[in-house]
Amino acid sequence: MRAIAVYEAKNRFSEMIAAVELGEEITITRHGAPVARLVAVNVGSGTDPEQRQRVLGAMTDLRRLGADMELGCHLSDAIQAGRD
């Protein structure tokens, strides 16, 4: 397992994703202390099946809610408004 600082992780994110896809685990550190771990999705995380089902159900509900929403303006206008 490799450790990488937050500021470096921002600059090397694509490289880190490629490494994780190949099975590597990466620990992200801030001031030398571990704060996060990047692992591949297909690696067993120890989550119980019931929790996984609840999360999938919540995601489905959120997608359904979002499908009925309208911005009321063009997407580019909403993006620009968010930047202001």
What is this structure's pTM?
0.48
Domain ranges in the chain?
A: 2-38, 49-83
Confidence (pLDDT) at 51: 78
For the 2-38 domain, the top CATH level (class) is alpha beta
pLDDT digits (tens, 9 = 90+) for 2-51: 999 999 999 999 999 998 888 889 999 999 999 999 998 875 555 677 87
Name the nearest CA neighbour of 28 among 58, 1, 6, 10.
6
Confidence (pLDDT) at 4: 93
Confidence (pLDDT) at 82: 80
